[in-house]
Chains A and B, each alone.
Chain A
Amino acid sequence: MISRALEGWSRGLAAAAAVLMVLAVLAVALYAPIEREQGLPQKIFYLHVPSAWVMFLAFFFVFIGSVRYLWKKDPAWDTFAYCCAELGVLFCTLVLATGPVWGKATWGAWWTWDPRLTLTLILWLIYSGYLILRASAASEEQAARFGAVLGIVGFADVPLIHFSVLWWRGMHPAPVIGLGGVQGGGLHPAMLYTLLLSLVAFTALFLSLLGLRIPLRRAEMEMRDVRRLSTFTQT
């Protein structure tokens, strides 16, 4: 069970995430060279790409948790899916916030309807809808079932949205194997190592946040049950 393991390791993960984050920031500031054409703003790339990776990982976990919940009806999987969705939306917001900062400096515009930007925005909308759907459900059990259904539908939609926005402006599938927002795959080795380090750091950050959020969420649910029970006995 993933969430049990995450909780057990949450202290260790948090410590590792803290160390790795400091190292990643140092590497971004001191080790990674300044890109020749884009200059300093390119460094936001080390924050932007790992956020995007964590976002996809989180939404994939929502899908896994949703399928397992419907299959096993174990509330632990629902808690897992819900906490992943929250963190996914958080990191998705980070992607959407850092992208325009870079875009304004490099493209001269805050926003372009570039396929990747569009996909990220649509994902943000789908999973924000997921959170609203759960918040407006009539009961916790209903929230779990409905959330699981949307968690599956939303994830099954990702490849379809990807292709539809990619082809939209007549851009036929030119494979973009390069990393993130940088043209081509020709990353300077120091840049690549820095990126890999921040990818690891962000993944550790995500897992440690998840390991903290899951018990908190469970406590919230228990609290709600206790409160309901106490009002019930008083009346």
Chain B
Amino acid sequence: MKFLLTTGAIVRKDILLEFRTKELLVSMLLFALLILVILNFALGTGSAPAEGALPGVLWVTFTFAGVLGLNRSFLTEHESGGLHGMVLAPVDCEAIYLGKMLANFIFMGVAEAIVLPIFAVLFNFPILGRLPALLMVLALGNLGFTAVGTLLSAMAASSRMREVLLPIILFPTAIPVIVGAVNVTGRVLAGEPLAHSVPWLKLLGAYDTIFLVVAILVFGYVIEE
């Protein structure tokens, strides 16, 4: 019970902070929009990118904007000494990890919820009918990405290279999530039922489970000073 209260308090703190500053979501959204614009030009001179490229467009946008958010997550803690406070407080470090992870998960989800309709308009792609399946893929992909991302972001933030380091160590380890999510998103956008992607959904589920467990087990070693 105390564990859940701690987790909830950290999530609430991060969301409250975001409500007051609005730094993170605004920059994530602008960055995502910029990536969509750049990819539109990068993917050829046709009136719109080929349909096969769209799931890739979506996930490049999400992961790049996601890294931006994950980086801020622990950098702000370091700048304000918040991490020291949390480590010194008599709470489980697993709760700290879960709290930060859930907050990152929520931020990424909110950013995606806003980017998705913009994507549908800009690339003239109706997504409304595929929304439930799409949400499921997004949830699984986000969970894996933020589970590893939160752990690695805590390390990157206290290294000397700071935010430069996170994409270098996160992207290669997140390859299975990106591959799986792009694949399933492609099938969903093509109108296939989710049942066709069961092996991929299992892969995403396995990734999420394995790395949540691993991250919870080792997070204590990351923040101990």
Contact = CB atoms under 8 A, between A and B. Distances in A.
A129 B183 contact: no
A122 B221 CA distance: 25
Interface string B161-181: 100010011011101100110
Interface in A145-189: 145-146, 148-150, 152-154, 156-157, 160-161, 163-165, 167-168
B172 A160 contact: no
A211 B210 CA distance: 33
Given A129-B169, A148-B221, A160-B203, A122 B175 contact: yes
Contacts of A132: 161, 165, 168-169
B218 interface: yes
A26 interface: no
B172 A125 contact: yes
Contact of B180 (A70, A146, A153, A164): A164
Contact of A133 (B169, B207, B215, B221): B169
Interface string B136-171: 000000000000100110011011110001001101
B26 interface: no
Nearest to B174: A157
Contacts of A235: none
B224 A160 contact: no
Interface residues of B, number: 33
Nearest to A172: B199
A163 B202 CA distance: 11
A129 B203 contact: no
Contacts of B171: 125
**Which applies to chain A's interface (DSSP): helix, strand, loop or mixed?**
helix
B116 interface: no
B110 interface: no
Contacts of B176: 157, 160-161, 163-164
A30 interface: no
Contact of B159 (A122, A137, A152): A137
A153 B219 CA distance: 11
Given A153-B218, A164-B203, 6 more contacts: A122-B175, A125-B172, A132-B161, A149-B222, A150-B169, A160-B206
13 contacts: A129-B168, A137-B159, A137-B160, A138-B159, A149-B221, A150-B169, A152-B214, A153-B152, A156-B211, A157-B173, A163-B176, A165-B175, A165-B179
